[in-house]
Amino acid sequence: MRRRLLPSLTALRTFEAVARCMSFTEAAGELNVTQSAASRQVRILEEYVGGPLFMRTRGRLELTEEGRVYAAELKEALDRMELATLQAMAFERGGGVLRIGVLPTFGTRWLIPRLSRFAKAHPKITLNLNAGDGDVDFSAQGIDLAIRFGDGHWPDAVSYRLGLREDMVVVCAPELLTRGIDPEDPASLRDHVLLQHTTRPLAWAQWLRDAGLGDLDPNGPSFEHFFMLIQAAVAGLGVALLPRFLIDDELRTGALMVPFARNTIYDGGYYLICPTARRDLSKIRAFRDWLLEESLSPSAVELP
């Protein structure tokens, strides 16, 4: 029987972390060991393979050519080992826990009301949701998946575009319709406050340009999250430009009205983002397939 020629897993994990961070200090913190312990493990590995894996140039840590190739191969191997372990854990439990970082308004307005259908189809998978709308760091944020708005490009990840688009419509509280907003004349918006969303800075400009009002400057107050912008519009603070699918309840109850038939499709899309190495986990495949199908379902609200 052939005996595998492998160094210790501790030495391999330490080298991979140092090569990825290019810092003994940072890698030691990630591994929860001292810097000297991390250095010792790398020395053990260098002795095992019979040559240096790092060199210092002008005080900077750099990989040798052998170290660079070894680190790349080792990362792929550790990723596969991690994936195999997660698959085994999920199989043993018949599902497992799936941690998802989700946009706050998207989560509360669209995703959560539909999750009972996922739970019914996959009762052994437990979903934990964390609100977030910034950069995605799966390891630091402790998440398996993320839902974000963007162009589909995230480093070291595979993304799946959902069947949702930001079909932006102008909305306002009913009382604003009695204060000079003329549904037949978009120019009547000149006398009203145009509420803005900080992450969609070009939305109003796009709608106004299409309506022939390219000279109008939307200089109203800005809001960081859609749920804040929705509440501001409901409170009558001004006129907002919002995605239809996030305001089903307000449109159904009449808390918000759509004074103009014109809409605009904002560039970008909603994506489910997954670490490339984990894309084939059964629990991730289950949620991905369900979410993609669910996002193709029509809105419950019919609008002109």
CA 252 to chain centre: 29
pLDDT of residue 44 exceeding 80, the answer is: yes
> Exposure string (b/e) for 217-246, b if CB count within 10 Å is 16 or more?
ebebeebebbbbbbebbbeebbbbbbbbbb
Determine phi and psi for 214, rounding to 5 degrees: -65, -20
pLDDT band at 138 (very low <50, low <70, confident <90, very high): confident
**Lowest mean per-residue pLDDT among 55-59, 217-221, 248-252:** 55-59
Instruction: Give per-residue pLDDT as tens, 245-271.
Output: 999 999 999 999 999 988 888 888 999
Which of 89-93, 169-173, 213-217 is the least confident region?
Answer: 89-93
Phi, psi of 243 (to 5 degrees): -65, 135
Domains annotated on the chain, with CATH: 9-88 (1.10.10.10), 95-164+268-294 (3.40.190.10), 167-265 (3.40.190.10)
Q: Are residues 227 and 105 in contact, defined by beta-carbon separation less than 8 angstroms?
A: yes
Please state whether the predicted TM-score (pTM) of the whole model is above 0.85: no
pLDDT computed for residue 28 by the predictor: 93
* Two structure tokens written together for 58: 């002008």
What's the pLDDT tens digit per position in 2-35? Answer: 677 788 999 999 999 999 999 999 999 999 999 9
pLDDT on residue 225: 93
